[in-house]
């Protein structure tokens, strides 16, 4: 992840015990998104997170092809 201070990531990840996140990726200028509940922090060094997408889901292929992806964690008001 770029541009996110480790201290901010740690604070947010520590408060996210369960909830909803939206994972996005872009392939050839086309946006792809998936709502996930299986999302967790794996490591602070290196900074790693995990989400689960079934291999037969179209989003799985989009993320693999894009090579990068982003996560938006929804607050309890969303």
Q: Quickly state the pLDDT bin for 25 (edges 50, 70, 90).
A: very high
Whether 78 maps to a domain, the answer reads no
- What confidence score (pLDDT) does residue 62 get? 95
pLDDT at 73 > cutoff 90 = no
CA distance 54 to 67: 17
The boundaries of the domain holding residue 65 are 6-73
The CATH number given to whatever domain includes residue 50 is 2.30.110.10
CA distance 48 to 44: 6
What integer is the mean pLDDT of 9-32?
85
User: Nearest 5 degrees, angle CA 56-CA 33-CA 39?
Assistant: 80
CA distance 39 to 50: 6
Q: What is the DSSP secondary structure assignment for residue 52, as one 8-state letter?
A: -
Whether 22 maps to a domain, the answer reads yes
pLDDT at 34 > cutoff 90 = yes
- What confidence score (pLDDT) does residue 2 get? 59
Provide the mean pLDDT of the chain.
Answer: 85
Number of independent structural domains in the chain = 1
Whether 1 maps to a domain, the answer reads no
- What confidence score (pLDDT) does residue 37 get? 83
From residue 55, how far is each of 60, 63, 73, 77 by CA, in Å? 6, 11, 22, 31
């Amino acid at each position: 992840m770029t541009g996110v201070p480790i201290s901010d990531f740690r604070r947010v990840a520590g408060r996210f015990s369960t909830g909803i996140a939206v994972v996005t990726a872009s392939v050839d200028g086309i946006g792809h998104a998936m709502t996930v509940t299986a999302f967790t922090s794996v490591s602070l060094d290196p900074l790693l997170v995990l989400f689960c997408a079934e291999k037969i889901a179209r989003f799985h292929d989009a993320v693999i092809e894009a090579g990068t992806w982003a996560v938006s964690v929804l607050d309890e008001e969303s």
